[in-house]
Chain A
């Protein structure tokens, strides 16, 4: 199924057993649902829950944010309710990770589910205003508009805001800053304290909202029957890098040691040397750690990229780092000046003629930059680099001997 958002995004059913499919978010990847009738036939009506019931269900379901940070959804709701004022809900669909497509795919294929989830969140925090914060993808925009025109709710108004491109524009405070000031850059103040028009604001990833609509229907026990105790519920993954169909979006129902989830994208093109998980600002892990990440839910935005044999993980990491450095909002010195300074040192430290001196200064720079930004962008960039150095330690030795294992198609991850 093509989504028309650059790469083809396909929904693939990971498990064909009908019992499980009735509980899954996508109900086994059935086609486009841009007609309300079809949506209701597949999912049934949304139960009419009170605000307290919504909070209870989300809490006992153990739903965590699907945008990257994995923050417990009920805590966000509770924080807004504790403010004792009318809050604002932002449905964040501004998926800014270059290889991640799951939010775009979800907005295209299941727009009604996201809108229902946004209603539930609005009811829970007594909000009368919902903003959909998305990037300028024509088909995504059209899908949401079409769904909104069919599905209305009294006393809640929904508006779509189109965010400018940029890696950090999807950060929750950047979303609020854009809605307030038309500046899609992170701020020091937190959305829950000073959000849209000064009101307490909860920013939820669109998949998190869709999961709320699912929990409202199937209940929290059924939700917990998917996933693991540490990571309840299913989650959407984007399969990327060295797989035959990069850009495939799949719903992970249960982590499995055999990694059959990769089959949804036609399997790996070569033996995986490592995985990149959680996006370009995520981390590289050796193959045996992927299952643990799935079980703990530490998958960030759900990107799972294969680094196949024949690729050089250090070259990949350097290119990704260069991209992240270019995406600094340039608001904080350590990020604005530190990331490019670090990038400039990388060829001499991680290339095929590395000098110990450059290696030492890279390590020093990483320490100097991490934890010193207004948002977590410099932390994510340096953590990704650290993970590459640790995961590709054999490649580090090869490079020290002026060899490199890059021979397959390059680059694996496009920026």
Chain B
């Protein structure tokens, strides 16, 4: 069972906290909006991805 990181781009307001919380999963573009490096989350990145999902003020990230 793979875990996937999904981004609701419409909800996202570009706070950018996700990239601080999960630097190995997410970077920011020049406008401060997230670029998901890989939607597939493995055991190495799961902790980070969970942290980013929790920290997002716009609730734009989901793990499934």
Contacts and interface: CB of A to CB of B under 8 A. Distances in A.
Contacts of B31: 333-334, 337-338
A331 interface: yes
B9 A332 contact: yes
- Which label, helix, strand, loop or mixed, suits the secondary structure of the A interface? loop
A186 B31 CA distance: 21
A46 B9 CA distance: 44
17 contacts: A188-B8, A188-B9, A188-B11, A332-B9, A332-B10, A332-B33, A333-B12, A333-B14, A333-B31, A333-B32, A334-B9, A334-B31, A337-B33, A368-B29, A368-B30, A372-B33, A374-B8
Nearest to A375: B10
B9 A373 contact: yes
Contacts of A187: 10
B35 interface: yes
Interface in B20-43: 29-33, 35
Most buried by A among B9, B11, B12: B9
Contacts of B32: 333
Interface residues of A, number: 13
B27 to A, nearest CB: 11
A372 B35 contact: yes
Contacts of B29: 333-334, 338, 368, 372
Given A333-B12, A374-B8, 19 more contacts: A187-B10, A188-B8, A188-B9, A188-B10, A331-B9, A332-B10, A332-B12, A332-B33, A333-B9, A333-B29, A333-B32, A334-B9, A334-B31, A337-B33, A338-B31, A368-B30, A372-B9, A372-B33, A372-B35
- Which label, helix, strand, loop or mixed, suits the secondary structure of the B interface? loop
Interface residues of B, number: 12
B10 A186 contact: yes
Interface in A196-239: none
B33 A333 contact: yes
Nearest to B13: A333
Interface in A315-336: 331-334
Interface in A352-411: 368, 372-374
A147 to B, nearest CB: 36
Most buried by B among A331, A333, A372, A374: A333
A187 B8 CA distance: 9
Contacts of B33: 332-334, 337, 372
A374 B9 contact: yes
Most buried by B among A187, A331, A334: A334
Contacts of A338: 29, 31
Nearest to A378: B9
